[in-house]
Structure 1
Amino acid sequence: MKRFCFTAVSLLVVPVTILVAGPAGNGECIRTPKGDITIHIINHATFALGWSNLTIYVDPVGPQARFAHLAKPDLVLITDIHADHLSVDTIREIITDKTLFVVPPAVAEQLAQPLCQRSTVMTNGQAATVLGIKIEAVPMYNTTRQRLQYHPKGRGNGYVLTLADTRIYISGDTEDIPEMRALKDIDIAFVCMNLPYTMTVEQAASAVREFKPRIVYPYHCRGSDLEKFKALVGTDLGIDVRLRDWYNK
């Protein structure tokens, strides 16, 4: 089947901002000088962001009821092909006929042509602007010998989103790779940690201390000791570690 998808090619450099937390109804509000960002924790690797009258879903998976309290997505980001990140059935249930997608090539291959036509297909190192949001596709992969089969380099994408001046990093399934450690000016980070598929809390904390996001949310973290992660990140660098319930929903 012939597929028609857009490919991103540009690169971007952006500034940072200062973040203040506040209430946000059913979500968690991050106040910024250029508009509030609302974070909705959903489950495991699935969450939603609200900004400037836009709703962004990240790796939407699971029953439609999980998303009933949210606005329909204007944009869906998908990181990888595994079932805890990509569910075509879920996508069909929750989108509108105007929803756009950002996906890696391996995901695009699994989308029907009508969805692929609305997709921006990005490989590691590429960037694009979709609905006014600057999006960088960054690497996510395993490095430990026993885990190499789970996430080969180049198949999936992590993402850095720029909402006005706020930079948000979504790790996808990865270990503490050099590309993560080299990130700059990240305001909000969603960092995975669980075995055997991604990394230990020690790896995650070490990387977080190196790239120094202002706020970090551990996610994709089933079975991980999040209190240990928070302790390892420490308080000396001023990183706000936010532990949330990703599983009892």
Structure 2
Amino acid sequence: MRFTFILLFSFTCYSAISQQFEKDVINTNKGPLTITFIGHGSLMMEFNNLVIHIDPSSKEADYSGLPDADLVLITHHHGDHCDAVAVEHLRKQGTATILTALAKEKLGLGEIINNNETKDFKFIKIEAIPAYNLIHKRDNGELFHTQGCCNSYILNIADKRIFIGGDTENTPEIKALTNIDIAFLPMNLPYTMTPEMVADAAKAFRPQILYPYHYGKTDTSIILELLKDEKDIEVRIRKML
């Protein structure tokens, strides 16, 4: 029994430390915000003893080895953004899950937030922005993400406004955003945006820091070239395939 416990403990510790992710620390007027780049569309944020997981996916990490969530935020119901196994690993007593209607239907839990609604979680204000395709379609002619089903989010944390795109194109709602400090914009084809679409959106709402994410095999040097003359937009490339 003792040997089993030691073995299990050792495996758990190894699982937690063997996953290496890039991190950035953003200074706010109320302390540091740490962003961990899990992979694809999966992010983790830590601020003032709160842990926020966004679109957790078991394809990107072993979530049993990551910190439990105070808040799980899900942009839409597709499996690479809405993973029941990952969510279950992250839940603890008091964990809040905020998500779309179709994501709740899939997971069987959580609090729905619809397009253009806002919710408060402790000291964080969450704004839901419509996320959808304008051009890119499936073989049957249906858009990959139809209007009304998916969310992007703005997280208002201290003095920072952080935009999480989820799966979307450069919609009018995104281009009309204001006062965005940090933006995560998707750049994988054929499901979301081309680098040109990302550049178009970024030039419209002008985030201070732009992270292209879940970009798959897209050449990230293209977005760097497209925005090289936009001196007030810092493009940061992290490992978010």
Q: Is TM more than 0.5 here?
A: yes
Cα distance change, pair 145–64 in 1 and its aligned pair in 2 (3 A): closer
Distance (whole Å) between structure 1 residues aligned to residue 43 and residue 161 of structure 2: 16
| SS class of match (1:110) | helix
The equivalent position to 1:137 in structure 2, one of 128, 140, 145, is 128
2:116 is equivalent to residue 156 of structure 1: no
Tell me how far 1:189 sits from its aligned partner: 0.4
Structure 1 segment 1-249 matched on structure 2, within 5 A: 27-62=23-58, 66-67=62-63, 70-112=66-108, 116=109, 119-144=110-135, 146=137, 148-247=142-241
| SS class of match (1:229) | helix
Distance (whole Å) between structure 1 residues aligned to residue 206 and residue 61 of structure 2: 35
Q: Do the aligned residues in 2 keep the contact of 1:35 with 1:51 (CA within 8 Å)?
A: yes
Distance (whole Å) between structure 1 residues aligned to residue 184 and residue 111 of structure 2: 22
Tell me how far 1:246 sits from its aligned partner: 2.0
Q: Which runs of 5+ in 1 are unaligned?
A: 1-24
Distance (whole Å) between structure 2 residues aligned to residue 205 and residue 103 of structure 1: 27
Which one-letter code corresponds to 2:137 in the other structure?
Q
Q: Do the aligned residues in 1 keep the contact of 2:38 with 2:240 (CA within 8 Å)?
A: yes
Which one-letter code corresponds to 2:118 in the other structure?
A
Higher helix share: 2
- Identical-pair percentage: 39
Which one-letter code corresponds to 1:139 in the other structure?
P
Q: Do the aligned residues in 1 keep the contact of 2:63 with 2:89 (CA within 8 Å)?
A: no
Q: Which runs of 5+ in 2 are unaligned?
A: 1-20
Distance (whole Å) between structure 2 residues aligned to residue 95 and residue 50 of structure 1: 16
Cα distance change, pair 138–65 in 1 and its aligned pair in 2 (3 A): closer
Tell me how far 1:146 sits from its aligned partner: 3.2
Cα distance change, pair 178–63 in 1 and its aligned pair in 2 (3 A): closer
- What TM-score do you get using the length of structure 2 for normalisation? 0.85
Pair member with larger Rg: 2
Q: Do the aligned residues in 2 keep the contact of 1:63 with 1:90 (CA within 8 Å)?
A: no
Which aligned segments of 4 or more residues in structure 1 are displaced greater than 6 angstroms?
Answer: none
Cα distance change, pair 56–161 in 1 and its aligned pair in 2 (3 A): same
Which one-letter code corresponds to 1:39 in the other structure?
I
Distance (whole Å) between structure 2 residues aligned to residue 62 and residue 152 of structure 1: 25
Distance (whole Å) between structure 1 residues aligned to residue 43 and residue 61 of structure 2: 14
